[in-house]
Amino acid sequence: MILGKKLVIVLPAYNAELTLEKTYNEIPFDIVDEVILVDDNSKDKTVEKGQSIGIKHIIKHDINKGYGGNQKTCYNKAMELNADIVIMLHPDYQYTPKLIHSMAYLIAHELYHVVLGSRILGLGALKGGMPYYKYVFNRMLTLTQNTLVKQKLSEYHTGYRAFSKEVLTKINYEINDDDFIFDNEMLSQIIYAKYDIAEITCPTKYFPEASSINFKRSSKYGLGVLRVSFMHFLQRMGLVKLKMYELKG
């Protein structure tokens, strides 16, 4: 518990056998109540590794549902466990679990409903090994997104995210895409619903075992990001009315 609120960490995994234990061992269990591992039909022994290190809540998809589909399972299970705060932590050790305290406290104190771990704040992205083309790609997309959605974030593409219970019960994330564009669709929904978003500096770590998408998939992702941003702009201007922006309940 953190300030009387239940904190649940969700681990969306795909072939994370080699890095899962290292990630799990750095989770601060002085404040974390539950950990959920969702394996997206990995080809390695991610599930077995999760069982061996003592993760209680493990879900394995019978088919690969994609990064977004994995997150949907993560958040739905967290809500079943009555989480007040949910933090998505990639089990590939690309994001440090040592920021969980800071991210959780901002939500527990009801200062923000969403906290992002930004790789761009602090100028550490390139130093941490982010490929130069991805850095440029990130900056160009972020500038365009900030302009179209009327926001001022340092980046929209981090996979390190914390949410309040209210956000996960109100935002209609189930309607979103099952691939990588899920993240941007969800942020677009959150911004449109006027939830406040905080960012904290997150060290960047790129290494062989960490997950990453290639140039072709990055290009596809970029086009998807632009589509979401333009849809947000049209929705904001009242030119369209999209179901994804309707709140649940």
Phi, psi of 97 (to 5 degrees): -65, -10
Quote the CA–CA distance of 170 and 167 in Å, as a whole number: 5
**Tens of each residue's pLDDT in the chain, 249 residues:** 999 999 999 999 999 999 999 999 999 999 999 999 999 999 999 999 999 999 999 999 999 999 999 999 999 999 999 999 999 999 999 999 999 999 999 999 999 999 999 988 876 677 777 777 778 888 899 999 999 999 999 999 999 999 999 999 999 999 999 999 999 999 999 999 999 999 999 987 775 555 556 667 778 898 999 999 999 999 999 999 999 999 997
* Residue 147 · residue 230 · CB < 8 Å: no
pLDDT value of residue 36: 98
Nearest Cα to 225, choosing from 116, 136, 149?
149
Residue 26, amino acid: E
Domain boundaries, the chain: 7-245
Say if domain 7-245 classifies as CATH 3.90.226.10.
no
Displacement of CA 25 from its chain's centroid (Å): 20
